């Protein structure tokens, strides 16, 4: 019975680790999105780099889930006109739906305004992203860590019951 209790304890802890990891990946997606938007603003303001070139450079320098979705965006741009409908089909494994919307809105709004209005629009996306990052960080620190701690505690209780 003690072995069964130990197995259940380890399985419970593993489940907690997986839940915590999900929250962590959502937080990391927001961090990556924030750095991407900041990179866009720097490049547009300093060197007037074309947006597709900015995205390609970001993908070359970063290997994360955001980059994987941006690769699909680059492929779309090479195949022809990028429409909002095509952009709405982009998806990321680790992103929350609201975080995806921020990135999709950013990608679909690029090139629709003059440079001053474009930078203001991108800054609004950055503000939204920072708010989402704060929320995801709080969720990770509260719910993700709590899920891990509770799963370990439940596993230990089961172990004690079987002992």
pLDDT of residue 158: 87
Identify the three-state secondary structure at position 50.
Answer: coil
Please report, rounded to a whole number, the percentage of residues in the chain having pLDDT higher than 70: 100
Domain assignment of residue 114, given as a range? 29-143
Residue 35 token pair: 């750095």
Rounded to a whole number of angstroms, the CA Rg of the chain reads 21
> Which percentage of the chain shows pLDDT scores above 90?
53
Ranges 4-13, 38-47, 76-85: which has the least confidence: 76-85
Is 154 contained in some domain?
Answer: no
pLDDT at residue 159 in the model: 84
- Continuous segment of H or E residues that includes residue 111: none
Give the C-alpha separation, 94 to 27, whole Å: 9
Contact partners, residue 25, CB within 8 Å, separation at least 6: 65, 93, 94
Q: In this structure, is residue 13 part of a structural domain?
A: no
Q: Is residue 19 part of a domain?
A: no
> Can you tell me the mean pLDDT for 118-124?
90
Does residue 91 form part of some domain? yes
For 43, the token pair is 């490049």
Domain count within the chain: 1
d(CA 103, CA 73): 11
Inside any domain, residue 18: no
């Amino acid at each position: 019975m003690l072995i069964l209790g130990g197995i259940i304890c380890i399985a419970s802890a593993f489940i907690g680790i997986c839940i915590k990891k999900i929250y962590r990946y959502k937080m990391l997606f927001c961090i990556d999105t924030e750095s991407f938007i900041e990179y866009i603003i720097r490049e547009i303001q300093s060197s007037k780099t074309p947006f597709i070139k900015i995205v390609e450079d970001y993908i070359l320098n970063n290997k994360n889930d955001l980059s994987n979705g941006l690769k699909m965006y680059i492929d779309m741009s090479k195949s022809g006109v990028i429409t909002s409908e095509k952009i709405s089909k982009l998806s990321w494994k680790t992103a929350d739906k609201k975080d995806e919307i921020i990135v999709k809105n950013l990608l679909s709004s690029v090139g629709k305004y003059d440079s001053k209005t474009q930078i203001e629009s991108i800054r609004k996306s950055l503000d939204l992203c920072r708010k989402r990052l704060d929320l995801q960080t709080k969720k990770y620190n509260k719910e993700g860590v709590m899920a891990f701690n509770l799963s370990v505690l439940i596993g230990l209780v089961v172990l004690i019951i079987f002992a």
